[in-house]
Every structure is written in C-alpha cells, then in structure tokens.
Chain A
Amino acid sequence: MAVSDIAVIIPCYNHGRTIRETLESVRAQTRQPAEIVIVDDGSTHLQTRQVLRALGAAAYRVVHTANRGVAAARNHGVRLTSAPYIVLLDADDVLEPTYLEKTARRLDEKPAVGFVSTALQAFGAASYVWTPPPCTLLNALARGTVHPATMFRRVMWEAVGGVDETFRTCEDLDFWIAAMEAGFEGEVLEEALFRYRVREESKHHNHVSRGTYRQVKLAVLAKHQKTIEALGLDLLRLKEEFIVEQRTHLAYLETQMREHERERQQLEGEIAVAAQRLRERGRDILDWGDLRRWTPLSPVWGIDRGKIIDRYYIEAFLTEHRADIRGRVLDVKDSFYGVTYGSDAVTRVDVLDIDPSNSEATVVADLTKADEVPTGTFDCFLLLQTLHIIYDVRGALFHAHRILKPGGVLLCTLPAVSRVNCEGAALEGGDYWRFTEASVRELFSELFPLEDFEVHAFGNVMTDAGFLYGLSTQDLPPEALEFNDPWFPLVFCVRAVKAPAPAAAKT
C-alpha cells in the first residue's frame, strides 16, 4: 500500500490551545497522512475559533459544523476523506512520530486485521502508561477497549455505519464492539505511541462524575444485548474479575490518599517548626532581599533605572510589525513610535491627543467621540497603552476601527498588570482598566472578524512583579523576558486589520 493512504480526522471543540501541538505531532509523522481534516464541532471559545480560522488560512482543511458531539464530528470528517486507513485524533492528544508508520504497517501486513491500536502514555493532569487488553468482545465488554486514536480501515467504518451519533460518551466503545461484532479483528502494539492528555475538565471525567457515563454505558450495552447474552457466563466471570481489580485499585487509591494526607500533615508540622526557627533567628520566612520594601524601587515604572519592562515587549511587537507601520500613521500624544518604528513607507505621522495644549497634536479629539475625524483616514494606528486610561473602551475602539482605512492596521497594546497611572490625578480618573486575554479577544471581536486580529500575551510572574516594583529590563535576568506565561501576562499586543468591506460585522 502506498505511503499516502491515511486520513487523520481531528474533531475539535474548544481545544484551540492544544490543537497546534496535535497537528505538529501529525506533521512530524514518519509516514505522512494523505489527508488531514479538522472538524470544528461548533467551538464557542473565541481563541479556538481564531486558531481554527488561522489553520484554515494556513491551508489546513478545516470544516465547521454546529455542535453535534464528537461522534458526529468524527463521522463528518471521515465522510470528507477517501483514504483507506483512518485515525480519529482528538484535538488535545498527541501522536508519537512513528504512530502512523507502525500502525499502518500492521494493517499493510495483515489484511485480516481491521484495526490496530497501541499502548498509551497519559500526560497532563496524570501520568501513566496503559496497554489496552487484547481486542476481543469479552475484553471490550468486561474490561474496556482500545483508545479512540486506533487506526482502522475505512471498510470497517462503512460496515458498522460509522460512529453512533446518539451517544455523547462511550461512542468509541460502541464503535469497537460493533466492529468486532461485524467480524473485524484488532491488534494492540505494546509500544506507547499515543499520548493521551488527561485534563481535569475532560469530557470523559465529567460524564463519569455526573453519572451520565453510567446512563450512556448502560444504553450502549443494551444495544449489544445479543452479544452479551451470547458471551454468557464467561463474560460475567471476566466482569467479576474486573470488578475485583477495580476494588483493589480503589483500595490502593484510598491508601494513597491516607498516606498523602499523613505526609501532608507531617510536612505542615515540619514547615511550622522551620518557620518558627527562622523567626527566632530574626529571619523572614522568605528571602525578600532588595524587594523587602513597601514602596517600589521606582515610582515611574523603572524609567529612571533603564528600559521599562513593558516597553521591551511593546517595542519587540512594533519591530515585528514594522511593515504595517506605513502610509499615514496615527500615534498618540507624540510621534515617537510612529517615527522610530515606522517603515520607509510612512508618508506622515499624525499625533492624536485630547489635550489641545499639546503642540505636537495634529488631531485633537476625544477618541470615544471622535466623529470629527474622517472615517478611513489612516493606514496604521498605534494605540499603545492607551485604552486602559479611557473609561469608554468600546467607544474608543469603535472610533479606532472607524478611522482606519480598509486594510489598515491597528497595533494596540493593553496592560494586564501595571501600577495606577502616576501621571495626573489618575486616582480620581484617568486610569480605569486592566485586561485579560479573554476580555481583549471579546473586545476586538466586536469590531474585527476573527481571522483579522491576533492577540499575543507577553510576560510572566517575574516581569509582572518587577514592573510593579519599578524595576527595569536591566534588573531582570535576560531569560525572564523570554518566557511567556498565559496565566501571568504583563501586556497584550494586538494586531488587527480592518476588513476591506466598509462595515465588518462580528462573525
């Protein structure tokens, strides 16, 4: 069989943060698939929708459907492909590089085998290796069966009528049982070539904890009643054995819980003693060093010490998007960034300010009510660290979008963390907001189509703390500036392009 006879179907429901890793693992396969289809099962998260649009723009085949569950998404993807070997890969799981090669080779070598699975390596919230039991109906019904990314033949999928879309969980168990009932044999490779991501909020865990798993599983079993009856006492014995194993496992977990709890209590005691001994020696529990102070080292964001930390990210962002800073550029308060970071194609830099006394201002306007600035005036608007000091953020962004020419670019940065503005009477007004990634996405999605803007989060807990303490980039270890932790951002940088159409509506 030719090397390009594999289709990989990736159903995706709100897995925008992991799907790239999943795709990279497919791209890194030693035997490449002929087809990759991503089925967006009606994702609701903006970030996922943006990632899927970007993947579509990057020539991946992405199809969008209403949310109908993973079974329907898998079937839809299979129908869109024609390769004889199929892998259904969830958008948060990962294949080892030889997964397709080794599973497909087994199908190549053994025409009688309908599906080939592997051991799996769990990662994420748990770490373990699990090898599915041999593929028999007895095992499938009594002990469980192969993982969903098991490679199978298209003829098998056709023979069983695809994945049963009536099941919202246990759909894969039903599929493998149906396949074996139809006479298809399966094999398991001992090597853990499939990496299964365990997430606290996983669908499977939710179904089990809410009890819907039990309900659906009984429905799946009812569907296969004849098989269960035919397997008879052998099945009951095996199930009982399995239950004994489950009880043993449960007892082991309970012991683990007790031991961990005992260890935790012991640790708390030792920690309290160590802390007390430190206090007796007149020491702090934590070595605060130079940061043991109640006021920042610099009250002016560290400008008196060196480069301001957030500017490191903002300037890197502007450098990366220098080509967007072209034609007629609008800067705020002064023309520094437009002039310094503008490309050779800048024809003019205007300066926007609400304050008429600013002699540099060429556009004096309140951005929230900037009706006097003509629509479609600027090729690029540098709206840097400004929106947080405007109460009506939506109004300001509306006009920022409006005054851009079609195809014009808004380069916008917003703080996630910052001291209260020390300029003017900011405590009384003039510094209103800090942002999160979600709020930035929502805000921009109200004006820009999802595929026309991207949000990047920069910074980490050290840069955030350093920024609040008024440190400069020179005070930080250089590597601290290169690590971005989405849970502790310092600044968000947004590149948004105004659609060529005069009124781009929310999509």
Chain B
Amino acid sequence: MMVPRSESSPQDIFEAFIQLEEQSCDLLKRAYALEHQLDSALSPLVQRRKAELQRLQGRLAAADDEQQHTGRMKELERDNAESRQHIETLTAALARAEGMLAELEGRRRRGWRRYFSPYRASRQRK
C-alpha cells in the first residue's frame, strides 16, 4: 500500500487519497455483491432448504412411526389369532371333556339301574 512521506505535497496527498478511495470503492462493490448474494439469495435459500429437510424428516419420522405401529399391529393381530386358535382348541377340548363326562354320567346311571333293577324286581315279586 502506498503511503506518502510526511513531506509530500498537498496534491500528492489528494492523489494518494483518491487512489485509496478507488480501492475502497472496489472493495465496497465486491462486498455489496457478496452481501447481496448472501442476504438475498444464499442465506434465504439455506433457510428454506433447512426447513424443507426438517419437513421431510418429520414426514419420514411419521412414516416410520406409522410403519412401526403397523408392524406392532400385525404382531398383535398374529398374537390375537394364535390366542383365538388356542381358545378354540381349549373350547373344543372342553366340549370333548363335557361330552365324555356326560357319557360317563349316562353310563353310571345305566350301571346303577342294572345294579338295582334285579333287587327292585325281586321286591316287587315278593
């Protein structure tokens, strides 16, 4: 950078200042161009894309939640079906057991009659 000596003439000072001013104007112009690009284009664009990413991530999280929820639902439904099948098996077993009990009872009654019938008959004959 040019710095005039202390004995420089006023005209030298002025010319040196104008040169500095020209540099300053060029720097200002470059700074404005960058500021303009930053403030009007790039920064708002980055903000918008950040918001877009957030939106997509939110949507993705919701989709994942829903998928997990659906998976859990399927699991529960499978459990439910198995339980229902088990209940059906048990119900069938119970029904079978009840049938057997009924049959047993019938046999017991029939046996009872067989046992006491000759006695009742002999008494009647008497």
A257 and B34 contacting across the interface, CB-CB below 8 Å = yes
Stretch from B55-63, B88-96, B108-116 forming part of the interface with A:
B55-63
Q: Given that A208-B32, A236-B4, A283-B59 are contacting pairs, would A261 and B42 also be in contact in the complex, using a CB cutoff of 8 Å?
A: yes
Which residue on chain B has the smallest CB distance to residue A281?
Answer: B63
Measured between C-beta atoms, what is the minimum distance from B64 to chain A in Å? 8
The reply on B104 being an interface residue by CB < 8 A is: no
Q: Which residues of B contact A305 (CB under 8 A)?
A: none
The reply on B22 being an interface residue by CB < 8 A is: yes
A274 and B53 contacting across the interface, CB-CB below 8 Å = yes
Measured between C-beta atoms, what is the minimum distance from B14 to chain A in Å? 5
The reply on A394 being an interface residue by CB < 8 A is: no
Contact partner of B6 (CB less than 8 A), chosen from A228, A233, A278, A283, is A233
The reply on B23 being an interface residue by CB < 8 A is: yes
A260 and B46 contacting across the interface, CB-CB below 8 Å = yes
Within 8 A of B (CB), among A242-264: 242-243, 246-247, 249-250, 253-254, 256-257, 260-261, 263-264
Within 8 A of A (CB), among B1-46: 1, 3-4, 6, 8, 10-11, 13-14, 16-18, 20-40, 42-43, 45-46
Contact partner of B4 (CB less than 8 A), chosen from A211, A233, A243, A274, is A233
Which residue on chain A has the smallest CB distance to residue B64?
Answer: A281
Report the interface size for chain A: residues with CB under 8 A from the other chain. Answer: 51
Which residue on chain A has the smallest CB distance to residue B66?
Answer: A281
Q: Which residues of B contact A217 (CB under 8 A)?
A: 21, 25
A243 and B59 contacting across the interface, CB-CB below 8 Å = no
A236 and B36 contacting across the interface, CB-CB below 8 Å = no
| Main SS class of interface, B | helix
Contact partner of B14 (CB less than 8 A), chosen from A228, A263, A274, is A228
B21 and A246 contacting across the interface, CB-CB below 8 Å = no
Within 8 A of B (CB), among A32-87: none
Contact partner of B17 (CB less than 8 A), chosen from A205, A228, A275, is A228
B interface footprint on A222-233 (CB within 8 Å = 1, 0 otherwise)? 000100111011
Contact partner of A257 (CB less than 8 A), chosen from B10, B17, B21, B37, is B37
Q: In the complex, A104 Cα to B14 Cα: how many Å?
A: 36
Q: How large, as a class, is the contact surface on chain B? A: 35 or more
Q: In the complex, A283 Cα to B63 Cα: how many Å?
A: 8
A253 and B3 contacting across the interface, CB-CB below 8 Å = no
Q: Which residues of A contact B40 (CB under 8 A)?
A: 125, 200
The reply on A277 being an interface residue by CB < 8 A is: yes
| Main SS class of interface, A | helix
Which residue on chain B has the smallest CB distance to residue A277?
Answer: B60
The reply on A271 being an interface residue by CB < 8 A is: yes
Measured between C-beta atoms, what is the minimum distance from A139 to chain B in Å? 14
A278 and B63 contacting across the interface, CB-CB below 8 Å = yes
B interface footprint on A265-291 (CB within 8 Å = 1, 0 otherwise)? 001101100110110010101010000
B interface footprint on A119-144 (CB within 8 Å = 1, 0 otherwise)? 00000011000000000000001000
Which residue on chain B has the smallest CB distance to residue A246?
Answer: B27
B27 and A236 contacting across the interface, CB-CB below 8 Å = no
Q: In the complex, A275 Cα to B57 Cα: how many Å?
A: 9
The number of residue pairs between A and B whose CB atoms lie closer than 8 Å in the complex comes to 135
A239 and B18 contacting across the interface, CB-CB below 8 Å = no
B34 and A250 contacting across the interface, CB-CB below 8 Å = yes
Q: Given that A205-B32, A232-B13 are contacting pairs, would A271 and B52 also be in contact in the complex, using a CB cutoff of 8 Å?
A: yes
B39 and A264 contacting across the interface, CB-CB below 8 Å = no
Q: Which residues of A contact B24 (CB under 8 A)?
A: 239, 242-243, 246
Q: Which residues of B contact A242 (CB under 8 A)?
A: 24
A260 and B43 contacting across the interface, CB-CB below 8 Å = yes
The reply on B80 being an interface residue by CB < 8 A is: no
Contact partner of A208 (CB less than 8 A), chosen from B3, B29, B39, is B29
Beyond A125-B40, A218-B22, 8 additional pairs, beta carbon < 8 A:
A213-B29, A218-B25, A221-B18, A236-B17, A243-B20, A257-B42, A267-B50, A281-B67
A-B contact pairs, 16 of them (CB 8 A): A205-B36, A208-B29, A209-B32, A218-B21, A228-B17, A233-B3, A233-B4, A233-B8, A250-B30, A253-B31, A268-B49, A270-B53, A271-B52, A274-B59, A278-B59, A278-B63
Q: B residues engaging A (CB < 8 A)?
A: 1, 3-4, 6, 8, 10-11, 13-14, 16-18, 20-40, 42-43, 45-46, 49-50, 52-53, 56-57, 59-60, 63-64, 67
Q: A residues engaging B (CB < 8 A)?
A: 125-126, 141, 198, 200, 205, 208-209, 211, 213-214, 217-218, 221, 225, 228-230, 232-233, 235-237, 239-240, 242-243, 246-247, 249-250, 253-254, 256-257, 260-261, 263-264, 267-268, 270-271, 274-275, 277-278, 281, 283, 285, 287
Q: Which 7 A-B pairs have the closest CB atoms?
A: A229-B10, A274-B56, A214-B25, A253-B34, A246-B27, A267-B49, A239-B20
